[in-house]
Structure formats: structure tokens, C-alpha cells
Amino acid sequence: MCDVDIMMIGHFAQDKLVVDGKSEIASGGAVYYGSVALRRMGVSVAVVTRLHPDDFPLLDELKQEGVQVFATPAPETSGIENIYNSADMERRICKPRGFAGPFRRKDIPDLSAQVYLIAPIIAGEVDLSLLKSLAARSPVGLDVQGFVRVRENDHLVFRQWPDMAEGLAHVTYLKVDRAEAELLTDQTDLRIAARQLAAYGRPENEVIVTQSSGVTVYAGGRMHEAPFTPRSLDGRTGRGDTCFATYVGKRLSAPPEEAARFAGAVTTLKQEQPGPWRGIADDVAAVLTGR
């Protein structure tokens, strides 16, 4: 028996969301959106994060959901400014607001987990050495955004991951979005891109690709797709974080096809409301059956 089902490693963020010039500060980061959704699924979760001590009270929201939180003090709290035009919430401009620094091995608690979910938001949080260390303990899930989204001056830009071939050899569940898939493979066909990325690792590796229309999963030599059908995009931020976490959470008890459909339904619901998904199983069932 493991201490927790999933341990998530990544920066908790204080993001600035700007839509048509109107801004608000909101909690963010993959560990935020993902851990709450996992808890609502009944999955036990630990979050390992770094942030400024003044912002530690923000973590109470996770604790109230039953998430075990392990926070290390940092000089500043990470954050991203996401600038949207409401007419096209699919596209956004991202700017860095802070960076809480790299994780060290001593930041990782001595807890066993079925899956270690590496969910950084900016390159530099997790290095290859730490990735290998976690993979030696249990299967690893990894969101590639935290390796290709790089801070350059006042902007976040996509750059190649120099250690990709070596890193992906240690990853069981890989998540990319459309832009990242195209960057890393030079392929616009997401099915081809997913197969190409899967080839870097072991045969049991699974690739999860998100885009505005839904999620595509390549697992066991087969492709599975599930749509996103939100009635609004009021909760657009955190879409990929929610999809990846709920897919991996569902994979603990279900095959890839079912996990993809479940993650697609949860992500549909998440996009309709700002903040993490806090629904129930009946809500997901309603989406799967056409509401």
C-alpha cells in the first residue's frame, strides 16, 4: 500500500487573469487545479510546492479539500499573467510574475505514491536529476510545459527541451498541448505527434494531448479521443492541468479509453466555472450521457 495515490510536484501560483483589459488575481498552478479535482474524485493526494511564506495561507484551500501539503519557503511566489480576448479564450499571452525557484531532493517528502505527477508551470522547477530520482520510486507523470515554457525577459516563450530524449525515457504519462506537440515533433497531426513522443520511452508509456476541442490519448498502440463540450469558457485557465490530473487519477482504476472519456467530461465542466473543478460523479455522468 502506498501512502498516497498521487504526489504532485510543482509551484503553487498567484496568477493575474486579464480578460478584455479587466484583471483579477487568482490562485493557480497545476498543483492547485489538479489536486482539488483529484480529491473530488476520491483520490488521495499530496502536493509538494514552493512559495513565499506570506502566501502560505493560500494553501489552506487545498488542505480543506483533504490534500496533504508540503511547502518549502521561497524568496517569491510564482505566477503568470494570462491575457485573454473574450472573443477567443483559446489564445492567450503569458507573462511571468515571479518564480519560486527549483525543487531540491530534500523538498520531496519520504512518502510513497502510486504515481509522482511532475506538474511545473515554468522551466527550471524540476531538473533531470530529480525526474530520474522520482522515476526510480514509482511511475512518473509529466507535463512538458514545465520544461519548454521558458522565462525570457518579461515574456514566457516556448523553447526545445535539451534533455527531452533522456527525460522522456523515465516518463510513463506525458502531457502536451497542441502547441507543445508541434514544437517538439514538428508535426501538426496530433496523432502522429503522440506516436512520435511515445517512441522516446517504454512501450507502456502514454501520451495525453490537449487542444481546444478535446483530448487525444495514445496508449498501448491505440488512439483514444474525447471531446470538450463546455457551454462557456469562463473557467478556461487550468484546462490542461485538470485534464491531465483527472486522466492519471482515473487510470489508477480504469483503462485508457475510459480515463480519456472521464477526463474529457471533467474538463468540459471545469471550463464552465473559474477555479478548480469541484463537482460530483453525477455531474460527470450527465456530460457523458449528453446531459
The predicted-structure confidence for 232-262, as pLDDT tens digits, reads as follows 998 988 999 999 999 999 999 999 999 999 9
Residues 6+ apart with CB under 8 A from 55: 12, 14, 77
Query: Once rounded to an integer, what is the mean pLDDT over residues 31-57?
Result: 98
Backbone region of residue 108 per phi and psi (left: phi > 0; alpha: psi in -120 to 50; beta: other values): beta
Does residue 176 contact residue 197 with C-beta atoms inside 8 Å?
Answer: yes
Q: Which CATH number fits domain 4-288: 3.90.550.10, 3.40.50.300, 3.40.1190.20, 2.130.10.10?
A: 3.40.1190.20
φ and ψ of 265, to 5 deg: -70, -45
Query: Once rounded to an integer, what is the mean pLDDT over residues 96-118?
Result: 96
Query: Once rounded to an integer, what is the mean pLDDT over residues 70-98?
Result: 86
- pLDDT over 80 (residue 212): yes
Predicted structure pTM score = 0.95
Name residue 48's beta-bridge partners: 9, 70
Query: Once rounded to an integer, what is the mean pLDDT over residues 66-76?
Result: 98
Amino acid at 67: V
Amino acid at 26: A
Q: What is the mean pLDDT of the chain?
A: 94
pLDDT band for position 178 (50/70/90)?
Answer: very high
Q: Of 239, 246, 225, which Cα lies nearest the Cα of 272?
A: 239
pLDDT band for position 286 (50/70/90)?
Answer: very high
DSSP 108: S
Query: What gap in Å lies between CA 191 and CA 164, rounded to an integer?
Result: 19
Residues 6+ apart with CB under 8 A from 135: 116, 170, 171
Q: What is the pLDDT of residue 88?
A: 63
